[in-house]
Amino acid sequence: MPGNIIVEERGHVLHLKLDNPERLNALDRDMFVALEQEFTHAGQDPNIRVILISATEGRGFCSGADVSGLKTGAEGDAEEQRKQGVPPFTARQAKIFKPTICAVNGICAGAGLHFVADSDIVIASESASFTDTHVNVGQVSALEPIGLMQRASLSTVLRMVILGKAERLDAQKALEQNLVSEVMPADKLMNRAWELAEIVCGVSPASVQRSLKAIYASLEMPLEEAYENGLDVLFKHREHPDALEGPRAFLEKRIANWTMDDPA
C-alpha cells in the first residue's frame, strides 16, 4: 500500500500495519498521510467497529518520525505548519472514537509514542521497549508526553523527556507504569490482539463509541461538569435502538443484533 502502511479489513476490524522495517517503521510524510486517510475512512464506514494498529515484525514497532523529515520541517514555514494543527495520524487526533487497540513489538520511540498515548488498549511483546528521543535530535517533546501523562506518572514521563534515549522502559516497566495493559510472548502478541479485537466487535458499536467520547471529554472538564456531560450522553443514548436491543437479547438469551450506524 502507498505510504508503507499495510491495510486489511477483516470482518469489522480495520488492521493498520506499519511496514517500513528497514527503518524501524519510522514515520515519513507518506505514512502520516496514509494513516490520516485510513482513520478518516474508519470513521465514515459503519462496518468498522474496531481499529487494530501493529507493525511488521522486526526490531522496531516505530522508531519515531523520519529524521530527514524533521530536517525538512525545521527548514519550512513554521507559521504555516502551525496552522495545520496536531497531525491527525491517530484515531483520537482524527476525532474518531471507534475503539483502538495497539500491539507493540520492539522499540517504540519518539512519535511512535502517539500510538501508545492515543490508543484505548495497548499490549506489548516481552521484547518491547519505550523511549522518547526528541531531545537527542534537537526537537521539543511537547505532544507525546502530554498524552502519556493520561496513563503514566508525571515523574515517569519527565524522566523519558529529559533523559532521552538513556531512559528506556522495558515491557515489564511499561506495564507497571500503565503504558500497556498486557505483556505477551512475541509469538502470541498478534493472536491476543486479534482476540481482543473480536471481543470488541461483539459489543454495541454505538454504546462503546459514546462511552469513549464521554470519557475522553471528561479529561478536559471539572468533575461535576464531567458527570453532567456523561449523564447527558447516557440519556440521549436511550433513544438509540441498541439501548432496547441489548436488554431484549439478554432476556431472550440470544446474541444481540446491533445497529450498524456511526453515532459519533
Give the residue ranges of the chain where pLDDT is below 50: none
User: What is the value of pTM for the model shown?
Assistant: 0.91
Q: Which residue spans within the chain are E strands per DSSP?
A: 5-10, 13-18, 50-55, 60-62, 100-104, 107-109, 121-125, 129-131, 169-170, 182-184
pLDDT value of residue 203: 96
3-state secondary structure of 143: coil
According to DSSP, the β-strands at 129-131 and 169-170 are antiparallel
- Rounded to whole angstroms, the Cα distance separating 29 from 5 reads 12
CA distances in angstroms from 59 to 128, 134, 174, 186, listed in the order given: 9, 20, 17, 11
Give me 170's grid cell.
522495558
Paired residues of 100 in beta bridges: 51
Condensed to tens digits (0 to 9), the pLDDT of residues 9-45 reads 999 999 999 998 888 999 988 899 999 999 999 999 9
Asked if residues 178 and 150 have their Cβ atoms less than 8 Å apart, the reply is: no
3-state secondary structure of 160: helix
- Please, what sign has the CA dihedral across residues 84, 85, 88, 89? positive
Q: Which residue spans within 133-200 are E strands per DSSP?
A: 169-170, 182-184
- Rounded to whole angstroms, the Cα distance separating 186 from 189 reads 5
Q: ∠ CA 169-170-173 to the nearest 5 degrees?
A: 75
pLDDT value of residue 66: 84
- Rounded to whole angstroms, the Cα distance separating 178 from 121 reads 11
pLDDT value of residue 141: 93
Helices (H), the chain: 29-44, 67-75, 78-83, 113-118, 144-148, 154-163, 171-176, 189-201, 205-218, 223-237, 241-251
- Crossing angle of the two packed helices 205-218 and 223-237, in degrees rounded to 10: 160
pLDDT value of residue 57: 81
CA-wise closest residue to 14 among 70, 73, 96:
96
